[in-house]
A and B are shown apart, each in its own frame.
Chain A
Amino acid sequence: MSPQVFELVLLTIVTASMPLMIAALGELVAERAGVLNLGVEGMMIMGAAIGFAAAYLSGSPFIGALAGIAAGMAMAALFGLLTIGLAINQVAAGLALTIFGVGLSGLLGSDFVGLKREGSPHLYVPGLSDLPLIGKLVFGEDGFVYAGFLLVALAALFLGRSRAGLALRAVGDNPHSAHALGLPVRRTRFLAVLFGGACAGLAGAYLSLAYTPFWSPGMTAGRGWIALALVVFASWRPWRVVLGALLFGGATVLQLHAQAASLGLPGQLMSAVPYLATILALMALSAGTRRNAAAPAALGQTFVAPR
């Protein structure tokens, strides 16, 4: 494989892993606060639809990304109202959010099916971007990639090194103790859920603005669910999300290349690779560690303030 091809493969792996990484990071923060939001797929696809519509109408991918973030946050706010405000079962509410999001995005996006726009601009630093092998990889990505890595770094710092991050983890491990200590449990959880929605919306916008130059119904194709699995795979640690996302992105790209190379394997089998890989990854992880030792202790539990 020539260096150019090798670099191209690495570039596509980064591109394929970005939506997974960004969405998983947002979900990770929400889960560290004790909220399991199964609506990632729904928030993501709304981000993709709204993001594309806004970018198409305004002509600016930046406005598209912002609109995608806003759509994800609006969906997350709805989820927060249900699970945090009304103490509704998080699994059921998350499923409702996904079903709703998939349907609504199809409705809102129906006018935009088949339209195309140009991809998002890539960074170009004269000299540096032209370096062999790593030039494009480090200095020639689109804005989403840099934003994604920045988000991971900030989330890692926030969760591990800040007082507010400590409070958030306390809320996720034991909301009752946190409440007794005077921490605002429900506000913390709501903000964490909003952050998760913003990330999912951004990840969705990435799909329709940078990954492909168009919108199509159902285009997230289960990526929201894979992002949920990635959080488990990453043992709820931000930097491990990067690793997991690159592995999954790699699997996806490998599958596309294998399909193109026509190895004689059925296309359906190759398409099933990301889903099979998810199950295998969850199995390997659970077999290797003590059972759910890394999970936030109160993950998925609703909290009703004692009176």
Chain B
Amino acid sequence: MRIDLEPRAGRSLALDIGAPAGALAFAILLGGIVVWLLGKSPAQAFMVYFVQPLMEGWSLQEVAVKACPLVLIAVGLSFCYRANVWNIGAEGQFVIGGLCGGWLGVVTHGGAGQGAIGGWWIVPAMLLLGALGGALYAMLPALLRVWLGVSEILTSLMLVYIAELGLDYLVRGALRDPKGFNFPQSVTFDDAARLPFLAEGERLHAGVALALLAVAAAAFVFARSRFGFEVRLVGEAPRAARFAGFSDARLTIAVFAISGALAGLAGICEVSGQIGQLVPTISPGYGFTAIIVAFLGRLSPFGILLAGLVLALTYIGGEAAQVALKLPNDMTRAFQGILLMCVLMADAAARYKIRLVSGSGA
């Protein structure tokens, strides 16, 4: 038996929206089968994962807060992936961003540096440091690729491990809270170093607004700017882009800088908005989940916004399922992998007519 692929003539809007939606439905079905094989009730799991978090105000806010880093990172990744540049190390850029920005939160602890001018400058400076740190860290794989032709896939991934170990080292050493009974964590930040909440007494922090801003900005860049056109052209028709005189090297560096900066920004938003101090592990794999978000959102900013909410739901639901159903956390991971595969298959179905042909063949 073999599979025949026949390119479809054009792309239709129905397919563009239907394909990811179908993929999500199919992935939920497959996930249900896995849950059933584990001896739990798929219906109950579906309720816990996908319905209950949407029923209450506070958990809706939790979903939005979890979606914030995913959307920020994925918007950046969409620049890379559209240009056929494979930054898979956003997790490392996230960690470095959180570390660089968080450093300022540590050194300004207890009112230091706030004296006469006050603490108003700390949060903006932290965000800036976070974005800068992420962008600079992303320069390593970008420059190695441009200068030496080293595969950015492998270097960006190796740098994830190195970033995590670096954070671990500093939180246990130089940045550890001296009065923290040797716990591997930094001091808790002053209020001046915490991202403000969007409304009094709520969970939504200013990072959520930044994520929305990033979505809008990216949508504008892709639709209206020369740079956005360049990114799309290099990805879709590299030969044409070369004839047009667009520089591969410059673009590689630019998209790495954008995605690194956004991942770093996501990192510092998480540290300053959610955690409030530096700890050895600041990410439950946001940088990798954001890759799924980028593809589920079909590399378009608004699609990514929706996809980020969906994947955030799996995190929140996964936590609830651990408690309510004793489903291990790996279930969330496995489901995310299944989802990405379904999304990619749906993409193929939107691009080709797929036919199963009996008999053997090439």
Partners in one complex: yes
Residues of A within 8 A of B (CB): 38, 42, 78, 82, 85-89, 91-93, 95-107, 110, 179, 183-187, 217, 222, 225, 228-229, 232, 266, 268-269, 271-272, 275-276, 278-279, 282-283, 286-287, 291-292, 304-305, 307
Q: Chain B residues with Cβ under 8 A from A271's Cβ?
A: 165
Chain B residue nearest to A217 (CB atoms) is: B330
Shortest CB-to-CB span from B75 to chain A, Å, is 17
Per-residue interface assignment for chain B, residues 20 to 54, with 1 indicating a CB less than 8 Å from any chain A CB and 0 otherwise: 00000000000000100010000000000000000
Does B150 make an interface contact (CB < 8 A)? Answer: yes
Q: Are A275 and B332 in contact (CB under 8 A)?
A: no
Q: Are A96 and B334 in contact (CB under 8 A)?
A: no
Q: Chain B residues with Cβ under 8 A from A187's Cβ?
A: 360, 362
Q: Are A106 and B166 in contact (CB under 8 A)?
A: no
Q: Are A282 and B344 in contact (CB under 8 A)?
A: no
Q: Are A103 and B161 in contact (CB under 8 A)?
A: no
Chain B residue nearest to A221 (CB atoms) is: B161
Among A91, A96, A268, A269, point to the contact of B86 (Cβ < 8 A): A91
Q: Chain A residues with Cβ under 8 A from B335's Cβ?
A: 103
Q: Are A228 and B333 in contact (CB under 8 A)?
A: no
Q: Are A291 and B149 in contact (CB under 8 A)?
A: yes
Per-residue interface assignment for chain B, residues 292 to 327, with 1 indicating a CB less than 8 Å from any chain A CB and 0 otherwise: 100100000000000000000000000000000000
Which residues of chain B in 116-155 are interfacial with respect to chain A, using CB atoms and an 8 Å cutoff?
144, 148-151, 153-155
19 A-B pairs (CB sep. < 8 Å): A78-B341, A82-B341, A85-B3, A88-B347, A93-B341, A93-B344, A96-B337, A96-B341, A97-B341, A100-B337, A103-B336, A187-B362, A225-B154, A225-B157, A266-B173, A279-B144, A282-B144, A286-B144, A286-B148
Q: Are A100 and B295 in contact (CB under 8 A)?
A: no
Does B191 make an interface contact (CB < 8 A)? Answer: no
Q: Give the contact-size bracket for chain B.
A: 35 or more
Shortest CB-to-CB span from A111 to chain B, Å, is 10
Q: Are A279 and B336 in contact (CB under 8 A)?
A: no
Does B158 make an interface contact (CB < 8 A)? Answer: yes
Given contacts A96-B340, A228-B154, A232-B154, whether A268 and B3 have CB atoms under 8 Å apart is no
Q: Are B334 and A103 in contact (CB under 8 A)?
A: yes
Q: Are B344 and A89 in contact (CB under 8 A)?
A: yes
Among B154, B329, B344, B360, point to the contact of A96 (Cβ < 8 A): B344
Per-residue interface assignment for chain B, residues 262 to 295, with 1 indicating a CB less than 8 Å from any chain A CB and 0 otherwise: 0000000000000000000000000010011001
Does B209 make an interface contact (CB < 8 A)? Answer: no
Q: Are B158 and A268 in contact (CB under 8 A)?
A: no
Q: Chain B residues with Cβ under 8 A from A269's Cβ?
A: 165, 169
A-B contact sample (12 more), CB < 8 A, given A91-B86, A102-B337, A268-B166: A85-B2, A91-B153, A95-B340, A103-B337, A106-B328, A106-B329, A179-B362, A183-B362, A266-B169, A269-B169, A272-B161, A286-B149
Shortest CB-to-CB span from B46 to chain A, Å, is 17
Per-residue interface assignment for chain B, residues 204 to 237, with 1 indicating a CB less than 8 Å from any chain A CB and 0 otherwise: 0000000000000000000000000000000000
Per-residue interface assignment for chain B, residues 84 to 96, with 1 indicating a CB less than 8 Å from any chain A CB and 0 otherwise: 0010100000000
Q: Chain B residues with Cβ under 8 A from A107's Cβ?
A: 34, 38, 328, 330-331, 334
Q: Are A304 and B332 in contact (CB under 8 A)?
A: no
Given contacts A99-B333, A278-B158, whether A268 and B169 have CB atoms under 8 Å apart is yes
Please list the 7 inter-chain residue pairs (A to B) with the smallest Cβ-Cβ separation, ordered nearest first. A100-B337, A103-B333, A106-B330, A103-B334, A96-B340, A99-B337, A268-B169
Does B354 make an interface contact (CB < 8 A)? Answer: yes
Q: Are A86 and B3 in contact (CB under 8 A)?
A: yes
In the docked arrangement, what's the CA distance between A287 and B337, Å? 36
Shortest CB-to-CB span from B10 to chain A, Å, is 17
Shortest CB-to-CB span from B346 to chain A, Å, is 10
Shortest CB-to-CB span from A48 to chain B, Å, is 14
Q: Are B328 and A282 in contact (CB under 8 A)?
A: no
Shortest CB-to-CB span from B290 to chain A, Å, is 11
Given contacts A102-B333, A106-B330, A282-B151, whether A275 and B344 have CB atoms under 8 Å apart is no
